Structure 1
């Protein structure tokens, strides 16, 4: 029995040795996403998409390349909550050179599991403001709001073991730091020239914030595969619209277009463009999510289609409706990512369906509905206006009253001048008195 056991053991060892290389060669994955521009509700959706994708694929970490001047406080807090509840470590990397993590961006960075900055970037300047006055000066928030955000920033710094004093100065003194200053002040952990440099320097570091369900995690970036997550089509569209300058121009021109259109009725172009630009401007303000923004545009498109059917404009409302409907569909369903029902692959097909549906709806309202409405608006042939001038035949002597037949129907009639008009003679309707036709005799030569 012993001679038989040795070959069996050798065989098992051989199988294990064959399988081990494939197991050890399996690479861990690091996902990299990009967040640029103003922080809005759309940023929340994009952030959630990135995190859910990383979680679904059990990534080693999610790196967010951040470049933002700040944005909405409520959206920022939602992103902070997403990071704190992520089961994958989130690294905020202020990148590329020249990028900033200001205002809301600093809170997001402070909530992350590790902060890295590229040379030539900056972080800080978080003083809450209410807006700008007519002369361009900053309208600062009252002390109540300033103290709240200072406490919020302090709690984030305390939870991550970062410099609380500097964190509070970000809010109360509008402090802004370079990468070197931030590293020295214990606000960030890494200064990296690029992504490979970041992975190299962060390898072996421990997260500054506990990862949900895992506690503190030590990064292992040895032999990792980097997968880049591209921003969705929806995010690219709304990021452009959310630029404060673009949103302001859209709102202003949109309102002017509506005013000019109401002052010059009949042209339709100003109010049509004004309505579209105004809606795009409101969407650019960032108070909608993708679904709401897309739905608003699609509803606007249908309104334009109906307007074309009711008030034909030779295709102007149809084109406006088509643009609004398609743009709304692309924003609503073009989000991509694992968190959404429609992934990127499905959307490539759905995009064609959205465009074709929009075109078919436009053609239906342009020709079909318009024809139906015109038919309903057509004057009835038995109306007073339609009867005037009609020629009929006397079937009962008019003396001066009698019966005539007009358009296949019998009518009570009276001779206009009271003269006798005999059966078989032709008469023309010249008026109506209730349901009685007023007629005059017609010379056979005139008929």
Structure 2
């Protein structure tokens, strides 16, 4: 308990307020009694002094009582146990966090530290793991390792920590193994006994691990499914004369017993920034960040100015290479992905997906498949979902999205594109029903507006514009159909006006304006040769 502390006297008690500048004979009458105006202030000061004196005496009595009781009683503190969640590959960030957790637990006075591990491999050198083994073996507090929860894995050379930890256990469904060659730390010896050969290039589950005596569970059960069970396993462990007190046995009314946790459990994990860099060192995340970053940089290259896409693309690329530097990356595969982006950019510049787009897709598939080298216990190849998302997204982006964006970007939206209606163009790729034409010096994706395909080298006329696609019609076919329709209409009108004059019906006056009768118009439309007009 904190000691009482005297407070300074109020200013009003040391320096009574001066009376106001009024005549000395002035008095105020209250309830028939004559009093001076400074009397209330004087009474307030006396009351404050009395309260301060009382508080001082009360604090002194409490302090004296605490001092007299201190030699007779000792406070019993419930020990705290720290639990660090270790998830993902053992990279430099995770190793540093484990070392910091050991120092932090010792400085905070924790009873023990439990590492909750779920890791499929090790990405650091053996020398780093040897230093970590020495720190765990010589830790000033007991260190427990729990491979959990259900389905967790502990693979790689980092799994040799099981040989130097004080208490170890695993959950049902978990597996450990692929330890590799035993390391040689300075302060510990790695010895798994008869299980060493099996764990070097393989893994075992709970049943085999108990049979091979791999774990130091200290409790007789079918695994350690939860952290509470791990605390029970550590209860009663003694080190340097200190016995861990983490659980207590409770007898229920029906005679049954159970173990209740009496320790304060403090969970911890990586900080936000460390978690970010630890996450980008995962194969699927680094792979997708690389593709997204490079694609956004190309997108920004074909747009005006430096915008949001370029900033996001640069950030994604930096994070991707940060992860690739930690992961077992094949440099030639990463180079293939960058060459693929250059191939895509060539056809984006042209505006039409061609040979280089196909080459870019092939290079993307090869680079994605062989980007990472396998490690013991893990192939490191991104999952099927990540591969389909990466390859499929890049393919759609550079076949559909980027060409449309470039045409829209370099078009003339200020004056519109209506001037192209009626213009003639040359077919570059067969329009059947879609293809590519050239109008002026620009190439456009075209779509025929009738069931008459036009081969490469033919001529077409633009009749409509649909976004960045031109609706076209063949020059010769459109002119012939129009003349035939006009002639049939004139013939029909002439026959109605002069049915007996055969000469005039055969040679209608081209300069006269006639309106065909409804039956004549219907006959003209029903003609097979003119029925394809819109």
TM category, shorter? 0.3 to 0.5
Task: Choose between structure 1 and 2: higher helix proportion.
Answer: 1
TM-score relative to the length of structure 2? 0.40
Larger Rg: 2
Q: Which has the higher contact order (CA 8 A, sep 6+)?
A: 1
Return the TM-score normalized by structure 1. Answer: 0.47
